[in-house]
């Protein structure tokens, strides 16, 4: 251990005395990376872990320090941390309400398949009590109402839902409610080789974060073929990275009109959120 490391170890003990155990632990970790078998540093780690309530890990570090250098760990400390490690009951993490949502949605969807719409709706109601704006639950609830004959109420529920915010697993319910035939809405336009090459070059520039160069490529591609969706998608990404969120969102919608499955859902959500912030 060099002089700088020794000074840092003194700093660790100062931080421990000041009860800044998180800060001390961070310094100790840096020291351990350079001196993994240094007994005083390992003991200092044990002290930090003990103070942070990590008794089992503190005991392991204390035992490791003892095995390297006899007498480095005071008996009082070792006995105390050993007692705490053996007698502290591990708390079972409480399952959060939000973590139950995927299971509730799946159970409700299974009941929809069986045609048990009233029962299914109860599961979606439960999700909405946990997360009132859960899109999938609202959509499935609307689907159940529609199947139960309450069509007007069903359409009110999905009025503000954007198709690209929906998990793909649940899209079939939206498409059926809205009457979309995805196969008819999918893009079938054949790209010109020159357009494909320019788009490949443009997306390569985006990966290198050369956004202005990328935009030049996509603009050239659009001049060659304005009906090709790929340069439109590329422009949406460029405008987003340049900070023109509203224009980017418009390009996203333009691409969706050309090919309903053309825009990445995660990207679409990010663009929409940024565009709404600007408005």
The C-alpha angle 235, 238, 241, rounded to 5 degrees, equals: 150
Contacts of 10 by beta carbon, 8 Å cutoff, 6+ apart: none
Q: Give pairs for 56-64: CB < 8 Å, separation 24+.
A: 56/85, 58/85, 59/85
pLDDT-above-90 percentage for the chain: 46
pTM of the model: 0.51
pLDDT in tens, 207-225: 999 999 999 999 999 999 9
* pLDDT at site 228: 94
Q: ∠21-22-27 over CA atoms, to 5°? A: 95
Instruction: Encode pLDDT of 140-166 as tens digits.
Output: 999 999 999 988 888 888 887 888 888
Cα separation, 17 vs 91, whole angstroms = 29
228 DSSP assignment: -
Residue 123: Cβ within 10 Å count: 23
CA pair distance 199, 235, nearest whole angstrom: 10
Cα separation, 224 vs 213, in Å, equals: 17
pLDDT band for position 95 (cuts 50, 70, 90): low
Q: Could you write out the DSSP letters of every residue in 56-116?
A: HHHHHHHHHHHHHSTTSS-HHHHHHHHHHHHHPPPPPPPPPSGGGHHHHHHHHHHHHHTT-
Percent of the chain with pLDDT over 70: 93
Q: How far apart are CA 165 and CA 162, in angstroms?
A: 5
Mean pLDDT of all residues in 36-47: 89
**How many whole angstroms separate alpha carbon 226 and alpha carbon 208?**
26
Residue 158 has what pLDDT? Answer: 83
Would you state the pLDDT for residue 94?
59
Show the domains of the chain with their CATH numbers: 3-87 (1.25.40.10), 98-180 (1.25.40.10), 193-278 (1.25.40.10)
More confident residue, 9 or 208: 208
Helices (H), the chain: 3-17, 21-34, 39-51, 55-68, 75-87, 101-113, 117-130, 135-147, 151-157, 171-178, 182-185, 193-207, 211-224, 229-241, 245-258, 265-278
- Mean pLDDT across the chain: 87
Which tens digits make up the pLDDT trace of 234-264? 999 999 999 999 999 999 999 988 888 888 8
Collapsed DSSP state (helix, strand, coil) of residue 147: helix
């Amino acid at each position: 251990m060099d002089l700088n490391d020794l000074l840092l170890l003194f700093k660790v003990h100062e931080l421990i005395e000041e009860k800044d155990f998180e800060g001390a632990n961070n310094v100790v970790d840096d020291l351990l990376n350079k001196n993994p078998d240094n007994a005083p540093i390992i003991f200092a780690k044990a002290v930090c872990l003990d103070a942070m309530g990590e008794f089992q890990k503190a005991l392991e570090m204390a035992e490791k320090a003892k095995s390297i250098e006899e007498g480095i760990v005071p008996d009082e400390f070792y006995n105390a941390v050993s007692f705490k490690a053996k007698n502290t009951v591990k708390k079972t993490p409480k399952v959060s309400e939000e973590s139950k949502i995927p299971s509730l949605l799946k159970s409700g969807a299974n009941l929809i398949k069986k045609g048990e719409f009233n029962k299914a709706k109860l599961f979606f109601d439960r999700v909405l009590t946990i997360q009132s704006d859960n899109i999938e639950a609202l959509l499935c609830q609307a689907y159940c109402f529609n199947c139960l004959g309450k069509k007007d109420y069903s359409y009110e529920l999905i009025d503000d839902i954007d198709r690209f915010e929906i998990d793909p697993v649940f899209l079939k319910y939206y498409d059926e409610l809205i009457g979309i035939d995805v196969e008819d809405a999918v893009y079938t336009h054949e790209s010109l080789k020159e357009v494909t090459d320019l788009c490949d070059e443009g997306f390569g520039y985006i990966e290198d974060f050369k956004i202005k160069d990328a935009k030049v490529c996509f603009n050239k591609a659009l001049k060659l073929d304005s009906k090709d969706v790929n340069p439109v998608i590329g422009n949406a990404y460029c405008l987003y990275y340049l900070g023109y969120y509203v224009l980017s969102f418009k390009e996203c919608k333009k691409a969706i009109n050309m090919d309903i499955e053309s825009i990445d859902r995660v990207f679409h959500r990010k663009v929409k959120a940024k565009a709404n912030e600007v408005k």
